[in-house]
Amino acid sequence: MKVLITGGCGFVGSNLSIFLKKNKIAKTVHSLDNLSRRGSLMNVERLRKNKIKNFKIDISNNKALLKLPKYNLIVDCCAEAAVETSKKDVDKVIYTNLIGTFNILKKCVRDKSKIIFLSSSRVYSIKKLREIKNKKFLINENFDTKEPKSIYGFCKYSSEQLIKEFSYLYKIKYIINRFGVISGPWQFGKQDQGFVSLWVWKHMNKKKLSYIGFDGKGSQIRDVIHISDVCELIIKQIKKINIINDLTINIGGGKKNSISLKKLTSICQKITLNKIKIFSNKKTSEYDIPYYISDNSKVRKIYKWYPKKNFLNIVEDVYKWMFINKNKLKKYIT
Ligand SMILES: NC(=O)c1ccc[n+]([C@@H]2O[C@H](COP(=O)([O-])OP(=O)(O)OC[C@H]3O[C@@H](n4cnc5c(N)ncnc54)[C@H](O)[C@@H]3O)[C@@H](O)[C@H]2O)c1
């Protein structure tokens, strides 16, 4: 089997490419990445060592895309992944996250490829998510998607609709994975994306942080899933894609792996043995949500899969990776 991973030099894409190669799931694994994310240069080296070729192409460049070889499967992990970029550079988000999917779909039609799409919990309406009062509530695939969700969320949701239209017309087999927060080694966290990795890095290097939004005390709650659990699930999906397809599912760490920023701070203190100054800023972004925990019932039932790594494993693994690579990482995480 020949597989193309778009965004292959990103956090998810690089880990998945190497996982597929090491587990001999595909004979050929190629990556497409324009290396725009900080840290992708470090990942392109990892790919090279694992004999995975990266095509340095912008996903919005349809002509360049159509010159690429034919693949049996495309796993679309390419995105401008920070929700807040929707406010600062909307063109970039639309061209990468929506036009990019459109281009990939055209390639899938030409080559008769299947597609696994990395969507997001951000397809759900911000207003409805903000109304959740019960902190045990789990968000399933039927949650409201009608109201605004950020331009990032809009692009993910619209990409999902495009995939379904293309599948209906051209019989493309697809799986849409709506992920909650993913974390683990090789995530180059920044203020607006990859908060677990950012929190560990700042504690390790005794730098300052801020709780931003809502009460300004770090009360936001998210469920977090380890990248190795994500890779194991995608392998299951690839193995069964001829019989299980045309599917949209929520995937996340679930209730057991849900955590507030405040709790994350105390875990980071224990693991790094450092205590840092955390400022408070109550100004809440239009795009922030106070709470999100995935309902994994559907994915569990279909694939007999559940996340194996707990939250502590995630933080410990990120810390170990950062500790070993501390000097190199200084260039990429600030
Ligand atoms: N990390 C998470 O918590 C999370 C959660 C839900 C969904 N997702 C989705 O999973 C996918 C992977 O996320 P990630 O965390 O690995 O993000 P990432 O930023 O680490 O990786 C994305 C990669 O895409 C590349 N890229 C960006 N714009 C490009 C363009 N125009 N052309 C070609 N390459 C481009 C970047 O260089 C980067 O290497 C994304 O679609 C993201 O929206 C991630």
Q: What is the mean pLDDT of residues 121-128?
A: 98
Question: Cα separation of 13 and 5, whole Å?
Answer: 6
pLDDT per residue as tens digits for the range 284-304:
999 999 999 999 999 999 999
- pLDDT score recorded for residue 192: 86
> Residue 62, CB half-sphere, CA atoms under 13 Å: how many?
11
What is the percent of the chain with per-residue pLDDT over 70, rounded to a whole number? 100
Question: Cα separation of 150 and 133, whole Å?
Answer: 21
Question: Cα separation of 219 and 90, whole Å?
Answer: 28
Give the ligand 1 atom nearest the CA of 9. 39
Q: Which residues of 87-102 are buried (b: 16+ CB within 10 A; e: fewer)?
A: eeeeeebbbbbbbbbb
Per-residue pLDDT for 115 more than 90?
A: yes
pLDDT per residue as tens digits for the range 82-112:
999 999 999 999 999 999 999 999 999 999 9
The verdict on residue 215 lying in a domain is no
Cα separation values, 77 from 6, 231, 328, Å: 5, 12, 24
CB 21 within 8 A of CB 52: yes
Q: What is the 10 CA–ligand 1 centroid distance (Å)?
A: 6
CB 32 within 8 A of CB 69: no
Give the ligand 1 atom nearest the CA of 59. 32
Q: What is the mean pLDDT of residues 35-62?
A: 97
CB 315 within 8 A of CB 200: yes
The verdict on residue 288 lying in a domain is no
Per-residue pLDDT for 191 more than 90?
A: no
Residues in contact with ligand 1 by the CB-under-6-Å rule are: 7, 9-13, 33-37, 40, 58-60, 77-81, 96, 118, 120, 179, 181-182
Probe target for ligand 1 pocket from 6, 16, 34, with the most ligand atoms within 8 Å of CB? 34
Q: What's the distance, Cα to Cα, between the start and end of the chain in Å?
A: 39
Which of 96, 92, 89, 81 minimizes the C-alpha distance to 32? Answer: 96
Give the ligand 1 atom nearest the CA of 35. 37
Which of 167, 184, 132 minimizes the C-alpha distance to 289? Answer: 132
The verdict on residue 324 lying in a domain is no
Q: What is the 129 CA–ligand 1 centroid distance (Å)?
A: 23
- pLDDT score recorded for residue 288: 96
Residue whose Cα lies nearest atom 7 of ligand 1: it is 120
**236 pLDDT tier (thresholds 50, 70, 90):** very high
The verdict on residue 258 lying in a domain is no
Residue 134's domain comprises 2-184+225-253+293-308
Q: What is the mean pLDDT of residues 148-158?
A: 98
The verdict on residue 112 lying in a domain is yes
**2 pLDDT tier (thresholds 50, 70, 90):** very high
Q: What is the 100 CA–ligand 1 centroid distance (Å)?
A: 12
Place of tokens 């569990």: 300
Q: What is the mean pLDDT of residues 225-245?
A: 98
Structure tokens at 191: 């203020």
The verdict on residue 218 lying in a domain is no
- pLDDT score recorded for residue 50: 97
The verdict on residue 194 lying in a domain is no
Structure tokens at 221: 């709650």
The verdict on residue 265 lying in a domain is no
- How many domains is the chain partitioned into structurally? 1
CATH code of the domain containing 69: 3.40.50.720
Per-residue pLDDT for 334 more than 90?
A: no
Q: What is the mean pLDDT of residues 158-178?
A: 98
Q: What rounded mean pLDDT belongs to the chain?
A: 97
Q: What is the 274 CA–ligand 1 centroid distance (Å)?
A: 30
